[in-house]
Structure 1
Amino acid sequence: MILTNANIVLSNEVIKGTLTVQKGLIESIDHGHVTLPSAIDCQGGYLTPGMIELHTDNMEKHFTPRPGVAWPGISAFKVHDAQMVTAGITTVFDAISIGDVVQGSERLKNLTRMVDALSETRARKLTRADHLLHLRCEVSHADTLDMFNALLERTPVQLVSVMDHSPGQRQFAKIEKYREYYQGKYKLSDTEMDDFIQRQTASSQRFSHLFRKEICRTCNEQSIPLASHDDATQAHVDESHQYNMVIAEFPTTQEAAKAAHHKGMKVMMGAPNVVRGGSHSGNIAAHQLASDGVLDILSSDYYPASLLDAAFHVALRNDNTYDIPEAISMVSQKPADAVGLMDRGRIQAGCKADLVWSSLTNDHVHIEHVWKDGNRVF
């Protein structure tokens, strides 16, 4: 396959040229335009690496499309897969939560269904993207450690993040935001919400420290990459660094983001945060961290189509120094490197031909086609 007349986004520059694919791998990148009849004319659009998504819970909504509705697993997973590919995401770390702030929630009921669907669709080659497993461990939940150990014996895990969503700290340092989010989500009265806060605080105090320590110890022993979640203070970052965490997921303050970046952890923020212009929880805005030069990775989180949009948003803003190659690397090479995937996430000879052709009109990016291992999947 030959793709020509493209603005090819390399690691440190954009060239107008031609890319050749052979047996699913990038064979060569050359300057200039060819006129071979078999070549695909990219019409001056951008050719970027297939994106690497490290943290998405997009899958959950397809398993429970309405309250009380459990959709068949393989069908649900295939729809999720199609959404990711049409967004230009060719490698997906599906974030599945162990533990939840509410006992008996749909998230817990779907846990094994989602893991089984991921494993089965992958084994049967029913997906267009590569799907890997990211376990999100809610360490304030009583059953989290047992469920974590059981899942490790059941299926391969490629990334683990450790989180604590109890009130008054990290993502919900502002208690009014905690009330607004959970009272609205679970339709709790004021009295029920007061009781809910007390229960979550007590559970965190009882389990969080021990479970965080044990989960991190196991991951370090098994060489599973670790991510912190919602670090807010220097002390949080110091603890995360001590546990050998390589990614700082969604730090909630400028202080924590700068500290994590300084220690060599890759700071990851939500692409919806970029597109919307701020955090829905009232925490630090991603564009502020870009202005500080400490934004390393973007994640689509709950909205797959936000990922490429956000990369171009960052590149086209005039309040930071990120150019197009550096902004695109935040959704491709940097996440790949952070978790040790050296065969993708970059346009380079010998790497996987995971590619996205897009066009940019004013400030809107439109995906034309997507290739996975040299095969067109969108």
Structure 2
Amino acid sequence: MQRNILTNARIVLPDRTVEGSVVIENERIAEIVADRHYAEGMDMHGLWLAPGIVDIHTDYLEKEINPRPKTNFPLPLAFHMMDQRALACGLTTVLGAVRFSDDGDKQTTLWRGNGLALAEQYEELARTALARHLLHVRWDTNFEPVDELLAQMGRFTCFGNLVYNENIPGQRQFRDMEDLAKKRAARGDLTLEEARERLARQIEVARTINNRPKVLAAFGGILPIGSHDDTTVEHVREAREFGASLAEMPTTLAAAREAKRLGLSVCMGAPNYLRGGSHCGNLGAPEAIAEGLVDILCSDYHFPSLLGAAIKLMSNGTAPHEAFHYVSLAPARHLRRDDDLGSIEAGKLADLIAFEPKETHGVVRAAWVGGAMRLQLSHTVRRASPALEPV
């Protein structure tokens, strides 16, 4: 049996913070011991020791694959850099977003259109990664046929959740039709009038298709289901009708309130909270959190914001264990993996991070996944001197 002890740490437990030690046996937490310093332990020098962050939605991989237009890089390289960056930001479980839709002809990276092509490689790469990696399925609700695609998806084990992404122009996040038409015309291949006509045809066709019932039949009870960018009360009710237990990034207070009323978890972007509001003018996470509407924060597009958001919550008076519920325990519950992940408790997997809070962010000094140290970025995390005696 392999036994490791992390000692002299400020430990964020599910209901309080204690100073002491965490005993790890093999890949799991065996014991949390308050007010004890082990001579044979790894000295944390008073660093915060928190559960590894669980990120249920990130678009980060796209930035590594395609950092600039027409500059694609191979998926193995992109995945490797994402894996290392995740741990350096305190993320031990990461769900990278992959889109399933019928726009493969517009594919500029592996990140759009043909989600199966990405999933095939992603599942193989995840087996040897440092952190835990799954896929967050961004499912377009307005395309057909989907029966064969759903059947093929059933052979993968890398899918962590599925979120409905309705993409009818003028709905949800982007509702200014004239602005959409101008942006399409600005690409250079359409006049403004042609762009308006094409948008009108797209809306007409999309409104005749709703593949949510087929998704629910294929994955209900298998994958956690959510809905993205709900804007109206009707959006939320439709999502719940088709199996959603998560409202992801609702764009209005009305939608967030209805989600909570119906018992859905509400997820907002950590960058939204850390920056003080939505970058595109939608519902601000600070406002939603102040009203008690938010359960989960995700990185969305910026890994450092998750730990930064937890630290900002703490600075604003939120108890540390409550701050980490947003980024660890609540997301683990959404994924139905809280028996193993999301908190520092005896019997759970030892997914842990040691960090130092700064004014605007957190500095991760070390990270463990399944009891194995996967990252060490500071000499201040080291074996305690054999001369020290337990306190």
Q: Quick one: which amino acid aligns to residue 217 of structure 2?
A: R
State how far apart, in whole Å, the 2-side matches of 1:232 and 1:186 are: 31
State how far apart, in whole Å, the 2-side matches of 1:278 and 1:190 are: 32
How far has the Cα of 1:180 moved from its partner? 7.9
**May I ask how many residue pairs the two structures share in their alignment?**
369
State whether structure 2 residue 110 is matched by structure 1 residue 111: no
Of the structure 1 ranges 180-189 and 256-265, higher mean CA displacement relative to structure 2 is found in: 180-189
Partner of 1:243: 242
* CA gap 1:24/1:167 in 2 versus in 1, 3 angstroms: same
Q: TM-score, normalised by structure 2?
A: 0.86
State how far apart, in whole Å, the 1-side matches of 2:348 and 2:101 are: 37
Partner of 2:214: 214
Please give the per-residue CA displacement for 1:14-68, whole angstroms capped at 9, x wherever unaligned. 11121111111111111114150x3222222211101111111211232334433
Partner of 1:161: 163
How far has the Cα of 1:71 moved from its partner? 2.6
How far has the Cα of 1:148 moved from its partner? 3.7
Percent identical across equivalent pairs?
A: 31
State how far apart, in whole Å, the 2-side matches of 1:70 and 1:144 are: 28
Between 1 and 2, higher relative CO (CA 8 Å, sep ≥ 6) is seen in 2
Alignment of 1:221-240 (within 5 A): 223-240=222-239
Structure ranking higher in helix proportion: 1
* CA gap 1:134/1:5 in 2 versus in 1, 3 angstroms: same
* CA gap 1:343/1:154 in 2 versus in 1, 3 angstroms: closer
CA contact (8 A) 1:3 1:39 kept: yes
3-state SS of 1:108 partner: coil
* CA gap 1:17/1:23 in 2 versus in 1, 3 angstroms: same
How far has the Cα of 1:184 moved from its partner? 7.6
Of the structure 1 ranges 143-152 and 243-252, higher mean CA displacement relative to structure 2 is found in: 143-152
State how far apart, in whole Å, the 1-side matches of 2:85 and 2:184 are: 28
How far has the Cα of 1:254 moved from its partner? 0.8
Please give the per-residue CA displacement for 1:296-351, whole angstroms capped at 9, x wherever unaligned. 00100111111111122233236xxx422111111111111112102111100010
State whether structure 2 residue 355 is matched by structure 1 residue 335: no
* CA gap 1:153/1:102 in 2 versus in 1, 3 angstroms: closer
State whether structure 2 residue 321 is matched by structure 1 residue 325: yes
How far has the Cα of 1:232 moved from its partner? 1.4
3-state SS of 1:170 partner: coil
3-state SS of 2:208 partner: helix
Alignment of 1:37-116 (within 5 A): 38-99=40-101, 103-106=105-108, 107-108=111-112, 111-116=115-120
Please give the per-residue CA displacement for 1:92-145, whole angstroms capped at 9, x wherever unaligned. 2222101166842223366344212211123xx320011122211112344666
How far has the Cα of 1:287 moved from its partner? 0.7
CA contact (8 A) 1:272 1:306 kept: yes
* CA gap 1:312/1:184 in 2 versus in 1, 3 angstroms: farther
How far has the Cα of 1:174 moved from its partner? 4.2
Q: Structure 1, unaligned stretches of length 5 or more?
A: none
State how far apart, in whole Å, the 2-side matches of 1:178 and 1:326 are: 40
State how far apart, in whole Å, the 1-side matches of 2:182 and 2:306 are: 27
Q: Quick one: which amino acid aligns to residue 333 of structure 1?
A: L
Partner of 1:4: 7
Q: Quick one: which amino acid aligns to residue 93 of structure 1?
A: L
How far has the Cα of 1:185 moved from its partner? 8.5
CA contact (8 A) 1:142 1:203 kept: no
* CA gap 1:309/1:181 in 2 versus in 1, 3 angstroms: farther
3-state SS of 2:23 partner: strand
State whether structure 2 residue 25 is matched by structure 1 residue 22: yes
Rg larger in structure = 2
Q: Quick one: which amino acid aligns to residue 214 of structure 2?
A: E
State how far apart, in whole Å, the 2-side matches of 1:334 and 1:187 are: 46
